[in-house]
Structure formats: structure tokens, C-alpha cells
């Protein structure tokens, strides 16, 4: 009797599950698809018929417009890339050094530094003091530094690194110390090479946080030339002025809706292409970090 | 041999400490400037800020800002929205993630399962700015996809961006869309780690699929569920700023159900220039958050100390 029932639970059951996932996955993709379709649709068709699941009137005008007047989005891309690259490299270096001191078994201040770093995850001063500090006292408004500096240290990443460093075999380091190696040497020659997966994972988190950040720009950047990509995209979706500027140069009518959608597609392309790597690292990050919850 | 190495380490330790200080310094400096220094600014919540006085020169007004914040009704609306929506999101996402993980586990042998997992995870990587674009393309009153479909079927178009009542549902759906894949991965990782022998034992005792899930799978991932739930509860006073800011934007008509503390503070600060209100709201959030995070962390530590943050 039990065997018969479990047979029932096999093929057809599994087939239904596979079938159930199809609409679920479609829903996951539809929003992206709509944007993608809109970027290849003639702008007037979007104004007349709205956003559809298939281009009413196919057109490459959005993309040709973008590629002939790169000024619009090109600069934002450059800013984002610069900020991301510098921020990630510097940030990962600083974070791993910091985590190393916290994870170090013979450092007297390790616990203190640890508390110092992790306490900030509990309580934050709030936006207002932060805003006043940056604009009034640090004079970092409208500078590229404010896009980089605040995001350099991510406490969750430091935590992840600390956990990872702690689990490294200590005997190698003891041997190195015997041989006369200093902390910096141990760190750069032994610890880092051994921690490649962890470093790669937090590097990825760093890249994603820089690439997607709009918060710093939102608060502190008025100068259009310094807009990073996501903030730029944020500004153009409801505001017409920025795109209108472009029209003055070309003297033609700017296809706004489809151009906006094309810009969004271009912003997703890097993420899409890196997707397989990202997924692998996320999963690894989760297991390294010990299955933590919360975003 | 062991003694020698101890002795040598003892002498070298002094030298090493300097290097370690140097290593920690830059990181600590950044944290000092961007995390600790702003903390001193919480006194702003008790002052009437004016530009000439700055932080320390402005007039002290005690709890005036807070009184206004609560009496004007703003506070309650924000608290209700922030806490209520976060709670709704958490329940929805965690429940669905567990169910999906259970289902995926059943078909995990097939490669299709990995594809499904990737597709579900993909929205997690999309920045909220783009999510704002999706929302616009789908919900716009004149051109959005949904309204096109609705008018196709003869149902009237709905002006989504003017009706507050739909938004908890809309936001919940978007939050699910974005978060499901992430948590499914977490739960799935927990489920596949379960020793198959437990399933064998249940099957031998005559259990069916549903017994397997109820008596084996669920108990094993219960700790994981609790951890995710409590960590989310700890952060219940903190809304996802980028989510709300990009999807709701500055659409005043729907603020009654969508305005959260985070968006209120930023808007009050940047658009209205009202430093006092923003400071009071921000401090309130910080204090509530602080207490809750400590509590939540304490609970999580009881369940599985490795996963607690502190």
C-alpha cells in the first residue's frame, strides 16, 4: 500500500511541479521583457499604444540615438565605472586588513576593534547629521569622493572576512612568524592568497553596492556631470529636461520613452552578463557567511 | 620546540602590534568619519537648527520636535506603514521562499531546477532604479501594460499612481518578486544538507510525501526560518529606502499607505528643508531600531549562536 502511494508521488507529481514553475518564472522575467521590448519599439507607438509584450512597431531609433549622442549616458557610465573600480579595490583592501586585525589571535585590541566596527551595525546617527557633516563640515558635496568614501567599508563584509580568517590554519602563520615575517608580509603573502573565495565574494558585494548606489548622489550631487549611472537613470524617467538638452544638439525630436527604456536595458546588460558569476558567488557567500538571513 | 616558538612569538608580538594598528587604522578612520561622527549629531533632534549656528550653535528646544512629530499624526502614519509593510513583506517572502524551496527540492535532480533557481534569483540583482522603470511601464495610467490589458478586456483603466489602497499589495508583490530567489537559495541550501537517511526512516514507517516534509524537512530548516524572521524583525523599523524611493517616488497621492520613515526623512530634509522634523524622525528610528536589533540578535543567538551577528 505504501509503495503504491509513493509511486503516485513520483512522475506526475514532479511533472506538475515543473509545470507550476513555468508561470512563476515567466512573471519573474516579464518586467524585464516589457522594458526590453519597449526599447526596440518606435517611440510614437509607445505614446499611442503604451507598453506591450511585443513591439507594435519595431524600431532601432532609441539605440541609434543613444549611440550617436553618447554624451547623455556615456558620462554616467564612466563615473559609475570609475567609482566602482576605485571603491572596490580600495575598499576590499581596507576591509580585509581591518578584518585581519579583528581575527588575529594575538592582537590585544582585536575585541575592541571588533566592537568598534560592529556596533555601527546596531545604531546609526541618521540622515540629518550625516548630511550636515558632509555638506557643511567636510565640504564633500558635488565631489566624486562622496560617491566613493562612505561605501568603502561594509560591516557585513568585514564580518564575513573575520569568520573566514579565523578558520584559516594558524600553524602556517606561526611558522612564518618564526621565520621572521612581519604582519604585513604574513597578510599579503599568506592570508590573502589563501582567502581568495572570501575576497572575491566581498569584492562582488562591493561592486554591486557601488554600481547600484543612488543614495549618495541623491543627497549630495547636483552637478549633472557627476551623476553616476543609476542616479542618472532615476532622474530621466520622469524628468524631461535632461533629454531635451540633447535635442538642442541634434535638432531632431528626441524619442524619449524608448530612449529611456534603451538606457535601462544598457544598464542591465553588465549585470546580465555577469549573472552566472554573481550567482555562484552569492551562493558561496551565503555558505561562507554561515547561512545568514536578511538583506 | 613548542616552548621556543612561544618565547619568540612573545618577543615579536610587540613589534607586530604596530603593524596591526596601521592595518586597522584606515578602515577605522572611515568608520569614525562616516559612522561615529554623525552619531554625535543626534543632538540635532533636540535643537532648532539654523544655518548660522550650525550643529552646536543652534537653539536647544528639548522634545519640541518630537512632540510635533507625534502630535501631527505624521509619526503614527509612518510607523504604521514602515512596520506594517515590513512585516507584510517578511511574512510573504519567507513563506513563499520556504514553499518554493520545498518544491524545488523535489525536482532538484533535474537540471531544470537549477535554471528555475537562476531565473528566480535574477530579479535580486536588478537595481531598484530599474525596478522603478518596470513599475512605470506596467502601472502607468495611460500607457502601462496592465491598463492596456484591462482595456483590452473592456474593464476600465485604473489610475494606479493615485489610489493608495492598491499599494500595499503592489509593493508586497514587488518585494516578493525581488526577494524570493534570494531566500529560496538560502532555504534550498539548508534542505539539501539534510541527511537522506531521515527520509528513508519516514518512508519505512509508511509515511508519504507530505509526512516527509512535515516531519523531516521542516523541522530541519526551522532554525533557518527563525533566524531569517528574527533578523527581519530586528530591522522592522528600517524600510528599504531605495525600493520605496524608486517605485513610489514623490507621488504624494499614495503617501498615506506608502510613505515610510526613511523616505519621509530624506524628503523632509532635501525637498522641504525641515531639518528638525527629519532629525527627530531619524533619531526615533535609530533608537527603536537599536532596541529591536539587540532583542532580535539575542533571540537568534539562543537558536543558533553561529548565525547571530554579535
pLDDT at residue B305, as a whole number: 62
Contact B30 A2 (CB under 8 A): no
In a domain, B123, yes or no: yes
In a domain, B161, yes or no: yes
What CATH number does the domain containing B107 carry? 1.10.3720.10
Let me know whether B7 and B84 are in one domain: no
> What one-character-per-residue DSSP string does A205-267 give?
HHHHHHHT--HHHHHH---GGG--HHHHHHHHHH--HHHHHHHHHH-S---HHHHHHHHHHHH
Give pLDDT tens digits along chain B (310 positions).
444 444 444 334 444 788 899 999 999 999 999 999 999 988 888 988 888 877 888 888 888 889 989 988 888 999 999 999 999 999 999 999 999 998 888 888 888 888 888 889 889 888 899 998 888 888 888 888 888 888 888 888 888 888 888 899 999 999 999 999 989 988 988 888 888 888 888 888 887 778 888 888 888 888 889 888 988 988 899 999 999 998 988 888 888 889 999 999 999 888 888 888 899 999 999 999 999 988 888 888 887 765 555 6
DSSP state of B255: H
| Res A44 pLDDT > 60 | yes
B240: enclosing H helix or E strand? none
A168-218 pLDDT per residue, tens: 888 888 888 888 888 888 899 889 998 988 898 899 889 989 998 999 999
Let me know whether B265 and B128 are in one domain: yes
Q: Are B165 and B155 in contact (CB under 8 A)?
A: no
Let me know whether B122 and B176 are in one domain: yes
Let me know whether B292 and B166 are in one domain: yes
Q: How far is A23 from chain B (nearest CA, A)?
A: 11
For residue A60, which phi and psi values (nearest 5 degrees)? Answer: -100, 15
Let me know whether B6 and B125 are in one domain: no
Q: Who among B19, B177, B240 is closest to A182 (CB)?
A: B19
CA distance A66 to A55: 19
Q: What's the residue count for chain A? A: 295
In a domain, B145, yes or no: yes
- Bridge partner list, B60: B47
Chains A–B, number of C-beta pairs less than 8 Å apart = 312
- Report yes or no for ipTM above 0.95: no
pLDDT at residue B1, as a whole number: 43
In a domain, B264, yes or no: yes
For residue B305, which of A163, A102, A103, A124 has the smallest C-alpha distance? A163
Q: Under DSSP, is residue A58 helix (H, G, I), strand (E, B) or coil? A: strand
Let me know whether B55 and B83 are in one domain: no
A102 vs B144, more confident: A102
For A133, the grid coordinates are 557633516
Let me know whether B88 and B131 are in one domain: yes
B34, B271, B287, B295: best to mutate for the A interface, most A CBs within 10 A? B34
pLDDT at residue A83, as a whole number: 96
CB of A253 within 8 Å of a chain B CB? The answer is: no
Residue A268: how many other CB atoms lie within 10 Å:
19
CA distance B216 to B209: 10
With residues binned 3-state (H G I as helix, E B as strand, rest as coil), the percentages for chain B, rounded to 5, are 80, 0, 20
User: How many angstroms from the chain centroid is the CA of residue B171?
Assistant: 14
Tell me the pTM. Answer: 0.84
CA distance A98 to A105: 14
Range of the domain at B280: 78-307
CA distance A233 to A262: 11
For B245, the grid coordinates are 524611493
For B52, the grid coordinates are 548660522
| Res A293 pLDDT > 60 | no
In a domain, B235, yes or no: yes
A106-154 pLDDT per residue, tens: 888 899 999 999 999 888 888 999 999 999 899 999 999 999 999 999 9
In a domain, B232, yes or no: yes
Let me know whether B91 and B46 are in one domain: no
pLDDT at residue B306, as a whole number: 59
pLDDT at residue A255, as a whole number: 62
Mean pLDDT, to the nearest integer, of A158-163?
Answer: 91
Fold topology of A70-288: MetI-like fold (1.10.3720)
Q: Which residues of A139-157 are buried (b: 16+ CB within 10 A; e: fewer)?
A: ebeebeebbbbbbbbbbbb
B48: enclosing H helix or E strand? strand B47-48
pLDDT at residue A114, as a whole number: 92
Residues in chain A with CB shorter than 8 Å from the CB of B21 are 101, 109
Q: How many domains does chain B have?
A: 2
Please give the share of chain A, as a percent, with pLDDT higher than 90.
31
In a domain, B171, yes or no: yes
User: How many angstroms from the chain centroid is the CA of residue A267?
Assistant: 12
For B173, the grid coordinates are 508583490
Let me know whether B171 and B247 are in one domain: yes
Question: Could you tell me which residues come within 8 angstroms of residue B222 by beta carbon, excluding any fewer than 6 positions away?
Answer: none
A62, A125, A137, A213: best to mutate for the B interface, most B CBs within 10 A? A125
Q: Who among A6, A104, A278 is closest to B203 (CB)?
A: A6
- Average pLDDT over all residues of chain A: 83
Domain residue spans of chain A: 23-59, 70-288
| Res A294 pLDDT > 60 | no
| Res A244 pLDDT > 60 | no
Q: Are B105 and B191 in contact (CB under 8 A)?
A: yes
Let me know whether B95 and B202 are in one domain: yes
Let me know whether B46 and B195 are in one domain: no
| Res A295 pLDDT > 70 | no
CA distance A199 to A91: 11
How many Cα atoms within 13 Å fall on the side-chain side of residue B42? 15
Q: Who among A53, A117, A230 is closest to B127 (CB)?
A: A230
Q: Which of B10, B28, B60 is the last residue of a domain?
A: B60
In a domain, B72, yes or no: no
Mean pLDDT, to the nearest integer, of A271-291?
Answer: 72
Amino acid at each position: 500500500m505504501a509503495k503504491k502511494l509513493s509511486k503516485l508521488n513520483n512522475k506526475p507529481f514532479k511533472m506538475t511541479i515543473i509545470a507550476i514553475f513555468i508561470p512563476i518564472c515567466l512573471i519573474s522575467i516579464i518586467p524585464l521583457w516589457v522594458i526590453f521590448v519597449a526599447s526596440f519599439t518606435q517611440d510614437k507607438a509607445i505614446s499611442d499604444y503604451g507598453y506591450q509584450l511585443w513591439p507594435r512597431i519595431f524600431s532601432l531609433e532609441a539605440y541609434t540615438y543613444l549611440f550617436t549622442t553618447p554624451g547623455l549616458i556615456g558620462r554616467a557610465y564612466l563615473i559609475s565605472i570609475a567609482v566602482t573600480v576605485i571603491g572596490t579595490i580600495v575598499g576590499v583592501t581596507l576591509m580585509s586588513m581591518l578584518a585581519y586585525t579583528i581575527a588575529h589571535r594575538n592582537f590585544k585590541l582585536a575585541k575592541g576593534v571588533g566592537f568598534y566596527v560592529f556596533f555601527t551595525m546596531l545604531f546609526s546617527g541618521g540622515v540629518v547629521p550625516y548630511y550636515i557633516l558632509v555638506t557643511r563640515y567636510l565640504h564633500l558635496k558635488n565631489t566624486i569622493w562622496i560617491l566613493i568614501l562612505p561605501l568603502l567599508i561594509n560591516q557585513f563584509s568585514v564580518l564575513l572576512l573575520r569568520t573566514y580568517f579565523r578558520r584559516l590554519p594558524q600553524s602556517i602563520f606561526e611558522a612564518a612568524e618564526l621565520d621572521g615575517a612581519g604582519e604585513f608580509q604574513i597578510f599579503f603573502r599568506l592570508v590573502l592568497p589563501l582567502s581568495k573565495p572570501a575576497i572575491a565574494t566581498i569584492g562582488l558585494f562591493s561592486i554591486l553596492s557601488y554600481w547600484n548606489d543612488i543614495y549618495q548622489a541623491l543627497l549630495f550631487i547636483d552637478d549633472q556631470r557627476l551623476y553616476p549611472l543609476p542616479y542618472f537613470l532615476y532622474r530621466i524617467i520622469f524628468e524631461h529636461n535632461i533629454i531635451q538638452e540633447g535635442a538642442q544638439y541634434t535638432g531632431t525630436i528626441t524619442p524619449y520613452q524608448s530612449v529611456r527604456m534603451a538606457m535601462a536595458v544598457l544598464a542591465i546588460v553588465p549585470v546580465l552578463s555577469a549573472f552566472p558569476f554573481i550567482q555562484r558567488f552569492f551562493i558561496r557567500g551565503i555558505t561562507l557567511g554561515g547561512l545568514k538571513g536578511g538583506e | 620546540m613548542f616552548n621556543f616558538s612561544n618565547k619568540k612569538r612573545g618577543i615579536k608580538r610587540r613589534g607586530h602590534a604596530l603593524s596591526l594598528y596601521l592595518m586597522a587604522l584606515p578602515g577605522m578612520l572611515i568608520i569614525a568619519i562616516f559612522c561615529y561622527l554623525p552619531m554625535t549629531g543626534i543632538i540635532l533632534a533636540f535643537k532648532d537648527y539654523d544655518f548660522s549656528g550650525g550643529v552646536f550653535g543652534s537653539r536647544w528646544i528639548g522634545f519640541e520636535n518630537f512632540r510635533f512629530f507625534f502630535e501631527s499624526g505624521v509619526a503614527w502614519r509612518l510607523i504604521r506603514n514602515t512596520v506594517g509593510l515590513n512585516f507584510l513583506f517578511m511574512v510573504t517572502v519567507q513563506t513563499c521562499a520556504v514553499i518554493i524551496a520545498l518544491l524545488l527540492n523535489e525536482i532538484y535532480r533535474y537540471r531544470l531546477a537549477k535554471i528555475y533557481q537562476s531565473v528566480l534569483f535574477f530579479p535580486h540583482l536588478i537595481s531598484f532604479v530599474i525596478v522603478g522603470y518596470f513599475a512605470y511601464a506596467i502601472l502607468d495610467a495611460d500607457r502601462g501594460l496592465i491598463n492596456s490589458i484591462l482595456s483590452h478586456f473592456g474593464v476600465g483603466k485604473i489610475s494606479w499612481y493615485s489610489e493608495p489602497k492598491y499599494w500595499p499589495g503592489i509593493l508586497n508583490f514587488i518585494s516578493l518578486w525581488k526577494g524570493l530567489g534570494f531566500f529560496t537559495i538560502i532555504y534550498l541550501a539548508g534542505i539539501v544538507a539534510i541527511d537522506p537517511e531521515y527520509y528513508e526512516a519516514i518512508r519505512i514507517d509508511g509515511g508519504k510525501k507530505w509526512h516527509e516534509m512535515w516531519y523531516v524537512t521542516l523541522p530541519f530548516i526551522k532554525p533557518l526560518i527563525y533566524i531569517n524572521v528574527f533578523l527581519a524583525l530586528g530591522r522592522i523599523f528600517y524600510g528599504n529606502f531605495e525600493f520605496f524611493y524608486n517605485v513610489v517616488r514623490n507621488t504624494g497621492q499614495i503617501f498615506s499607505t506608502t510613505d515610510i520613515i526613511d523616505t519621509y526623512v530624506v524628503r523632509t530634509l532635501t525637498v522641504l528643508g525641515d531639518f528638525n522634523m527629519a532629525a527627530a524622525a531619524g533619531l526615533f528610528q535609530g533608537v527603536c531600531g537599536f532596541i529591536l536589533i539587540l532583542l532580535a540578535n539575542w533571540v537568534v543567538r539562543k537558536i543558533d549562536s553561529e548565525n547571530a551577528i554579535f
